[in-house]
Amino acid sequence: MAKKQDFTGVNTGRAYAGIEQATAPKGQQGNVSPQEFAIRASEMRTQGRKGARLPRINLAFSSENYDFVRVVAAIHGQSMTQYVNGIVTEYRLAHPELYEKAKALIDAVAADEL
């Protein structure tokens, strides 16, 4: 069995003095400015970016819908996320009153529960 070594006396302060921000082996970057976050979010390129992560949900698709989204997104030269976000954006902009009414209803119900 190998003998355990004691490294408690090693001074590591000088080795780390000049490092402000580390980069992970995968190339992940540190915190970003609000301006850089806005740019990354608009390009849908935020995965693995510390401080620039978009909200995520886990969706389950039927086999037919999954295949449809995959194929049509490829035809449009988009990722599946970009394609689905585009569909949701179109619907949201076409029906702004729906969101406002739903939000007001949820707020009213929450106020009654208090």
pLDDT band at 96 (very low <50, low <70, confident <90, very high): very high
What average pLDDT does the chain have?
79
pTM to 2 decimal places: 0.55
Non-local (6+) Cβ contacts of 46 within 8 A are 37, 40, 52, 53, 54
| pLDDT on residue 76 | 96
Helices (H), the chain: 13-16, 34-42, 63-75, 80-94, 96-113
| pLDDT on residue 73 | 96
Q: If we measure between CA atoms, which residue out of 63, 64, 68, 102 comes closest to residue 84?
A: 68
More confident call, 45 vs 7: 7
Q: What is the pLDDT of residues 65-88, one digit of tens each?
A: 999 999 999 999 999 999 999 999
| AA identity, residue 64 | E
106: pLDDT strictly greater than 70: yes
| pLDDT on residue 57 | 87
Q: In whole angstroms, how large is the CA radius of gyration of the chain?
A: 24
Interaxial angle between packed helices 80-94 and 96-113, expressed in degrees from 0 to 180 and rounded to the nearest 10? 80
Residues 28-51: what's their mean pLDDT? 65
The dihedral over CA atoms of 61, 62, 65, 71, expressed in degrees to the nearest 10, equals 80
27: pLDDT strictly greater than 60: no
